């Protein structure tokens, strides 16, 4: 009896496996990275794109599917592609950040990224992870529920990806090279974009504004992605409230709001309902800016939500869409109230009995001008150069091997494993910090984690140069955000307020300006995983580190061998 039960159980299991294998698709795509003329704001410039498209192609898959994306580099730049938010279980080789998990695909080269979507649903995206190519090399990656399962909310009548972006009239690679040379902040962008278009509020841009359709009584699931380079953004649709249902491809307990804020890297799924009088309404994004005395692009991008039944405008009478009233650029209370509304739909498995209790400062810094530099190379305040760090280490990418290859092949001298678990010096992080503490140390340091460790990280912003809300992203993992606050984290009282029941799960957390966030995850994914600020200007300055997660026991806990076509260094 026991035996036959066991066998029937096994049969059911085999049947289920066969069924799920039959249902899972493998999606093959070719991504040709190439220079393409793109005209925006009345100027045409040669732009690096995928397949000539800006933004790039939308990938649509089901949970459980596999992707094979063959990237062919026909540009003159080194390139890699990152699949932002995909956990890449045991396939770190396909993650993409250059010199972390692979060397770049050289001009003329190619590499096929192969990976499987495991237990993830919702809105993610892909982007270049090499220099500033992601300014134009990006697109949506939409994961539908597996065949036979459905959303935990009523399916919307329509779904529309909304990619917020940032456009420079100059070549973004020239912009970052100029900044790296001079040590000053890079030039700010000329426009923000929605699905690649700046919209009506910019001069010379109102002929190709993005139009999103809706009908009276219909719902539309907007999959909003902040793919801007350097700016956190508010997003609103005039007269239409949002029901927020997911962030970073993790479902939420739905709630209603009129405004959302996304840092670069973050996604938010919201449902709108066609419950207003038929007409045209602007959807708009504008900056959330927290750094003091920093230049930023203070413009607003728009698209148009258009009721299909809207009456045609009377001949000769211009009809302007209704404009939402966006928050002020420095409206931190609105951001705090938004992030505090995010909750998982039910109780979630937050790790307790923490093995690794880490405390990382995140912030800016200034290097004194090195003796062999000219004044033109020291254009920061008082003849300094801008930098940034975590725990006083300003991250330097290797240039001869990727960290993952160096680790796997036992190559010495590429990185060290002594990234500090706590700040090397304790100070009043958000107070008036002595200038003797402003210069970090450039280095390539990782922090080693044993397979399965339960990790807590306190991310503490510093006021060095200026406090700022930093969108911190971890590759290879989603994490729970169990707390946030302003000022210095207090280990004796702040843990009392941790949410260990239903905190949101994300891959990118906005650390409050002059404040802190606490995240937890279990290190079940072997590989080398970059953690960095997703403002590209800050990663350029070194606001990054990497975790080296060791293999566990057996095949399912072990990194796969490197693919044969992994680009050589």
Which residue, 401 or 547, has its beta carbon nearer to ligand NAG? Answer: 401
With CA atoms as reference, report the closest residue to 151 among 141, 140, 159, 161: 159
Rounded to whole angstroms, the Cα distance separating 423 from 268 reads: 33
Residue 569 near ligand NAG by CB under 6 A: yes
DSSP single-letter state for residue 558: S
Number of residues that bind ligand NAG (CB under 6 A): 29
Q: Which of 437, 494, 524, 560 binds ligand NAG (CB under 6 A)?
A: 437
Judge contact between 361 and 462, C-beta under 8 A: yes
Rounded to whole angstroms, the Cα distance separating 378 from 365 reads: 14
Residue 538 partner contact from ligand NAG, Cu ion, none using kind-dependent CB cut-offs of 5 to 8 Å: Cu ion
Q: In this structure, what are the phi and psi dihedrals at residue 92, rounded to the nearest 5 degrees?
A: -50, -25
Rounded to whole angstroms, the Cα distance separating 543 from 46 reads: 30
Applying CB under 5 A, the span of 27-35, 137-145, 529-537, 547-555 interacting with Cu ion comes to 529-537
Which two structure tokens, joined as six digits, stand for 392?
């006083």
Q: Which of 470, 475, 520, 532 binds Cu ion (CB under 5 A)?
A: 470
Q: Is 328 helix (H, G, I), strand (E, B) or coil?
A: coil
Judge contact between 394 and 387, C-beta under 8 A: yes
Which two structure tokens, joined as six digits, stand for 384?
């300094």
Residue 44 near ligand NAG by CB under 6 A: no
Shortest Cβ 288–Cu ion spacing (Å):
13
Q: In this structure, what are the phi and psi dihedrals at residue 495, rounded to the nearest 5 degrees?
A: -60, -20
Residue 472 near Cu ion by CB under 5 A: no
Residue 470 partner contact from ligand NAG, Cu ion, none using kind-dependent CB cut-offs of 5 to 8 Å: Cu ion
Rounded to whole angstroms, the Cα distance separating 474 from 418 reads: 19
Q: Which of 133, 214, 535, 566 binds Cu ion (CB under 5 A)?
A: 535
Q: Which of 57, 97, 104, 324 binds ligand NAG (CB under 6 A)?
A: 104
Residue 330: CB partners within 8 Å, gap ≥ 6? Answer: 288, 289, 290
Residue 108 near ligand NAG by CB under 6 A: yes
Rounded to whole angstroms, the Cα distance separating 505 from 521 reads: 10
Terminal C-alpha separation, the chain: 60
Shortest Cβ 128–ligand NAG spacing (Å):
13
Residue 150 near ligand NAG by CB under 6 A: no
Using CB under 6 A as the binding rule, the residues of this chain from 308 to 337 that contact ligand NAG are 329
Q: Which of 3, 207, 436, 492 binds ligand NAG (CB under 6 A)?
A: 436
Which two structure tokens, joined as six digits, stand for 200?
């009506």
DSSP single-letter state for residue 46: E
With CA atoms as reference, report the closest residue to 104 among 411, 485, 345, 399: 399
Write the DSSP string, 365-380: EEEEPPTT--GGG--S
Q: Which of 298, 309, 319, 357 binds ligand NAG (CB under 6 A)?
A: 298
Applying CB under 5 A, the span of 65-73, 225-233, 453-461, 531-539 interacting with Cu ion comes to 531-539
Number of residues that bind Cu ion (CB under 5 A): 4
Residue 381 near ligand NAG by CB under 6 A: yes
Shortest Cβ 172–ligand NAG spacing (Å):
9
Using CB under 6 A as the binding rule, the residues of this chain from 180 to 209 that contact ligand NAG are 187
Which residue, 127 or 538, has its beta carbon nearer to Cu ion? Answer: 538
Which residue, 412 or 436, has its beta carbon nearer to ligand NAG? Answer: 436
Residue 104 partner contact from ligand NAG, Cu ion, none using kind-dependent CB cut-offs of 5 to 8 Å: ligand NAG
Shortest Cβ 437–ligand NAG spacing (Å):
4
Residue 533 near Cu ion by CB under 5 A: yes
Residue 329: CB partners within 8 Å, gap ≥ 6? Answer: 286, 287, 288, 289, 296, 298
Residue 74 near ligand NAG by CB under 6 A: yes
Rounded to whole angstroms, the Cα distance separating 107 from 34 reads: 10
**Interacting residue ranges for Cu ion, rule: CB under 5 A:** 470, 533, 535, 538
> What is the contact surface with ligand NAG in residues (CB under 6 A)?
74-76, 78, 103-104, 106-108, 170, 174-175, 178, 187, 298, 329, 381-382, 392, 399, 424-425, 432, 436-437, 439-441, 569
């Amino acid at each position: 009896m026991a035996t036959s039960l066991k066998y029937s159980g096994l049969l059911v299991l085999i049947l289920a496996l066969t069924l799920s294998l039959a249902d899972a698709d493998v999606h093959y795509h070719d991504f040709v990275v190439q220079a393409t003329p793109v005209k925006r704001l009345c100027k045409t410039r040669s732009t690096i794109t995928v397949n000539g498209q800006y933004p790039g192609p939308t990938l649509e898959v089901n949970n459980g599917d596999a992707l094979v994306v063959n990237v062919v580099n026909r540009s003159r730049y080194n390139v890699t592609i990152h699949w932002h938010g995909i956990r890449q279980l045991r396939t770190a080789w396909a993650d993409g950040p250059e010199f972390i998990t692979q060397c770049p695909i050289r001009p003329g080269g190619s590499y096929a990224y192969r990976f499987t979507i495991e237990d993830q649903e919702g809105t993610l995206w892909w982007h270049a992870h090499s220099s500033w190519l992601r300014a134009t090399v990006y697109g949506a990656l939409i994961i539908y529920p597996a065949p036979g399962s459905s959303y935990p909310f009523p399916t919307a009548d329509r779904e529309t990806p909304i990619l917020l972006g940032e456009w420079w009239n100059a070549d973004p690679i020239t912009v970052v090279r100029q900044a790296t040379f001079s040590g000053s902040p890079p030039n700010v962008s000329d426009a923000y974009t929605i699905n690649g278009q700046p919209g009506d509020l910019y001069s010379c841009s109102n002929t190709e504004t993005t139009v999103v359709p809706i009908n009276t009584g219909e719902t539309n699931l907007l999959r909003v992605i902040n793919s801007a380079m350097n700016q956190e953004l508010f997003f609103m649709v005039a007269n239409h409230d949002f029901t927020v249902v997911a962030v970073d491809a993790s479902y939420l307990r739905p709630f209603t709001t009129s405004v959302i804020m996304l840092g670069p890297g973050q996604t938010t799924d919201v449902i709108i309902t066609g419950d207003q009088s038929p007409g045209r309404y602007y959807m708009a994004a504008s900056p959330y800016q927290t750094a003091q005395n920093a230049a930023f692009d203070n413009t607003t991008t728009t698209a148009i939500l258009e009721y299909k039944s809207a009456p045609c405008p009377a001949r000769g009478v211009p009809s302007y869409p209704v404009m939402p009233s966006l928050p002020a650029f420095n409206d931190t209370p609105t951001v705090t109230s938004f992030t505090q509304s995010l909750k998982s739909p039910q109780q979630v498995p937050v790790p307790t009995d923490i093995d690794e209790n880490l405390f990382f400062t995140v912030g800016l810094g200034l290097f004194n001008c090195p003796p062999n530099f000219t004044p033109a190379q020291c254009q920061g305040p008082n003849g300094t150069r801008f930098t940034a760090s975590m725990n006083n280490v300003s991250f330097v990418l290797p240039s001869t091997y990727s960290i993952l290859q160096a680790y796997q092949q036992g190559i010495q001298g590429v990185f060290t494993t002594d990234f500090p678990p706590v700040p090397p010096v304790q100070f009043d992080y958000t107070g008036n910090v002595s200038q003797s503490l402003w210069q970090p140390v450039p280095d390539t340091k990782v922090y080693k984690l044993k397979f399965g460790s339960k990790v807590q990280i306190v991310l503490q912003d510093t006021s060095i140069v200026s406090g700022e809300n930093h969108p911190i992203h971890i590759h290879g993992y989603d994490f729970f955000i169990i707390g946030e606050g302003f000022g210095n984290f207090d280990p004796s009282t702040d843990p009392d307020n941790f949410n260990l029941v239903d905190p949101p799960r994300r891959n990118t957390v906005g650390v409050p300006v002059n404040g802190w966030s606490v995240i937890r995850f279990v290190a079940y994914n072997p590989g080398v995983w970059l953690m960095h600020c997703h403002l590209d200007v800050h990663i350029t300055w070194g606001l990054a580190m990497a975790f080296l997660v060791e293999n566990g026991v057996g095949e399912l806990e072990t990194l796969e061998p490197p693919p044969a076509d992994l680009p050589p260094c």
